[in-house]
A and B are shown apart, each in its own frame.
Chain A
Amino acid sequence: MVANERGQLLLIGGVAIAIVVFSTILFAHSLAVTDGITTTGSADTIERSADREASVERDLGRLAAETRGDDLDEFEARYENALQNYTETHNRVVGGSGGAYLNATLNESASLGNETSQISPGEIDDPDGGPKPKEWVVAKNVTRIAVFNFTFTKGHDSGKPFNITVTGSNGNWWALEVSLNGTGSPKNKTVTIRDSAPGSDIPVCTSPNSGPDSQDLMVNLITGTCNQGSGFKTFSDVTKPPYTINVSKGQKADGTYRFAAIGTFPSTSYDSGDTEPYPVIPAVDTTYDTPSASYNRTVLVEVDDG
C-alpha cells in the first residue's frame, strides 16, 4: 500500500514538472520570437511632409496672386520680399510648434515666362524694329498669359486698321482693332472686337483722337476691360490655348503695350534682348528642415487668382 502511494506521488510530480518545463519553453520562445517585430515605417512621416509642402505651395500661389495684383511692375522684387516675410512668419508659427523650418526664395532663372513691351508711346512697333508694315508674330504655342495690356493714345488710318489677332488651337480666332470713325473733327479712336463668328463686330470703347477730351484707351485683353467702355468678350471666351498671336499694321495706332506669357517668342520677330524673363509661373527654391528630414526642391508656383 505504501509502495503504491509513492508511485502515484512520483507520477503526479513528474507530470507537474513536465508541464512546468513545457510552459517555460513556450513562454521563453514566445518572448524570443515576438521581441521587436513591430515596425515603425516612415510612410506617415513622408505623408506629413507632403501635406506640409502642399500647404506651403498653396500659400505661395496665393501670395503670388496677391503680390501680382493689378500692379505688374517689379513683381519679382515684391514677390521676393513677400516670400521673405512669409518665411519668417511660417517659421515663427509652424517652426516653433512643429520644428519644421522653411526657407523660400524666388528662382528667376527657373521661372517660366517671357515678356515683351513697348514702354514709350509711339507707333506700335515690332520688337526688332523691322520695316513697315509693322506685322509680326508676337508669340506661338502660348499656353498661359499673365499680362496682355495695350494703351492706345492715337489711332491713324481706318482703311486697314491696327489689328491684333489671337488664334486658338480649336481654329477659332479673336481680334482687336483700333480704327478711326465718326464724321466730326477730331474723329474718334475706337477699339472694336471681333471673332470667327460672323457679324461679331462690337465697338467696346472709344474716345476723341485728339483735343482736350481725348483719353487714352487702356485695354486689358485678359480680363476684357477698357477704361472708356464696358467689359467685352475676350479671346479666352472663344478660343482655346495654345494660342498664336499676331499683330498687323502696328503703325496704324500709337501707344504702349506689355505682354508676358509662356510660349514661343519666335526669333523671326525678336532679336536678342527684345524679350526678358517674366515669372508667369514663378519658381521658388524651398528648403525644409524638419526633425525627420532636410531637403530642398524647386517648386513651380501655380498662381492662385481665385
Chain B
Amino acid sequence: MAAPTMNAPASGVTVRMYRQGLGDCFLLAFPAAGERPFFLLIDCGVLLGTPQGSEKVRQVAEHILESTGGRLDVLVATHQHWDHLSGFEQARDVFDRLQIGEVWVAWTEDPEDPVASGLRRQRETALRALAGTVARLRASGDEDSARTAEGLAPILGFFGDLGAADGGAAGGSAIVRAMKYVVGRGKPPRYRTPGEGPLPLPGAAGARVYVLGPPKEMEFLKRSNPRSGEAYEAALAVNEETSFFAAVLGAHAREGGPAMSPEERALANLCFPFDKVYRVPVEAAQEDLFFQESYFGAGKDDVAWRRIDADWLSSAGGLALQLDSNTNNTSLALAVELVPSGKVLLFPGDAQAGNWRSWRNLGWTVDGAAVTIDDLLRRTVLYKVGHHASHNATLREQGLERMENPDLVAMIPVDEEMAHKPKGGSPKGWDMPFPPLLKRLEEKTAGRVIRVDQGLPKRPGKVPASEWKTFEERCVEEDLYLEITVAG
C-alpha cells in the first residue's frame, strides 16, 4: 500500500473539507499507533446539475485515494441525498480501489429494522410518484404545470437523477444504488443508533464518537417541524400523502406506465372517494353530452381554459419538500470528542429541527460522569454547518446558542452562486446560506467561518492580528480543499 500523503497532528485531528461545490465531503485524519494516520471520511457528493460535478467528484475521490494511501479506516454515509452520496456512483471505480475498514450508516438504512424498511418503502413510493408527477406536468403542455414541474425537479435532484418517469424502478434510483454500494462495502456495516457511544475509533488515539441521531421516535423523525401525537404508521397506510401518490402511480399505470406493486394497488383502491358504481371512466365521459359541452369543449362555448386536468398535481411541491426534509432528518449525526482536552467536533449531516430536538433525550455515562448534549455543545470547537447553512438545519436556542466555546470554528460546504442560480420555481434560487444564520455564525466564531466557495475568511476588523495569525496557522487553503487542525 502506498504511503498516505495527508498527515495527522501529533494530537488532535486535521479536518479537510473538499471543494467539489455544493455538497459534503470531509476527510478527518487522527494520529494513530502505527505509521499511518487513522482516516475517517464523512460523505462524498455534489448537487445534481453542478457544472462538471462528476469530474470534480472524481478528482476528489482520486485525491482521497492518494491522501489516505488507499485505505479508509471508517467511512460514514449520513443520509440518502445526492449532494452527500453522488461520489459513490460517479466515482465508484475509484472507491472500488480503496480499502475500507468499517462502514457506519444510520439505523434507518438497516434492512432488518421494520421501521426503517417501512420508511424506505414509503420514500421509494413517494419518489416514483413524484418523478411521475414531474413527467405528467411536463406532458400536460400547459404553462403553469410546466412551471410547477420545473420547481419540483431541483428538489427531486437531491435524490440523484431519477431518469425516466418510472423513477428508475428497475435497478432502484441512483441514490438508492449509491447507498447500497456504501452499505455493501461494510463487512458487516455498522448501523448506528442514537445514544450509542462513546465509540472508540479502532486504532486512533485520543478520539471517540457519540451518536446523536437520527432519532428512533417517529415524532422527531417524520417532520422537520413535527406535530404532536403523530404515531408510527404502517408503510403504506392510507393518509393524505399516500392517497396522492397512489393517484399518480395509478394514472401512470392506466396509461401504459409501469404496473403498481400489489401493495400500491391495494392502497390505490382504498383511496377512491366513491364506490365503483359512481365512477364514470374518461372514455365514457367523452361520449356523454353533458361532459362534452361543459368539459371537453365540444359545444359552442370555449371551455378548455377552465379544465383542471393537472391542477391536482400541484400539491406535489409540498410533498416533495416534506420528503426532502424527512430524508434530511434521517441524517446520521455524530459528535467526535478529542479525549484529553474534551473538545468536540459536531457533524450533524443535514439534520433538521426534529433530529436536533431529539438529542435532548439522550445521555451518556463516561468515566462515571453523566454527559448530556449540552455538555457536548458547550465543548464544541468545530461545527460542520448542516444543510449548507439553510435556515432550518441549525437549531437556534437549543443548538448554536449553546455552543459557547470561544474557539468555535464553522465549516460550511456551500456554493452560494450555485445555490442562488434560478431554479425552476424560484427565480432567485435557494436561500443558502441563510443570511441571518450566517451572520450569527460569524458573530459566534469571531469571523472563523470557512466556506467552500470563499476559502479562508478575512480577518474581521475587531480581531487582533496576532490572534488571527494563530487561527490562520492552523489552516490550509488549496483549490481542491480547505483544512483546519484542532489540537487534542
Do these two chains really belong together in a complex?
A: no
Chain A residues packing against B (C-beta within 8 Å): none
B interface list, Cβ under 8 A from A: none
